[in-house]
Chain A
Amino acid sequence: IAGITQAPTSQILAAGRRMTLRCTQDMRHNAMYWYRQDLGLGLRLIHYSNTAGTTGKGEVPDGYSVSRANTDDFPLTLASAVPSQTSVYFCASSDSQNSPLHFGNGTRLTVT
Chain B
Amino acid sequence: GQNIDQPTEMTATEGAIVQINCTYQTSGFNGLFWYQQHAGEAPTFLSYNVLDGLEEKGRFSSFLSRSKGYSYLLLKELQMKDSASYLCAVMDSNYQLIWGAGTKLIIKP
A interface residue numbers (CB < 8 A to B): 40-45, 58, 90, 97-98, 100-106
Contacts and interface: CB of A to CB of B under 8 A. Distances in A.
Closest 8 CB pairs of A and B: A42-B99, A103-B42, A100-B45, A97-B95, A43-B99, A42-B101, A105-B42, A103-B43
A106 B42 CA distance: 7
Dominant secondary structure of chain A at its interface with chain B: loop
Interface residues on B, range: 20 to 34
Nearest to B91: A98
A73 B89 CA distance: 25
B87 A42 contact: yes
Contacts of A43: 43, 87, 89, 97, 99
Contacts of B35: 101
Most buried by A among B33, B42, B43, B48: B42
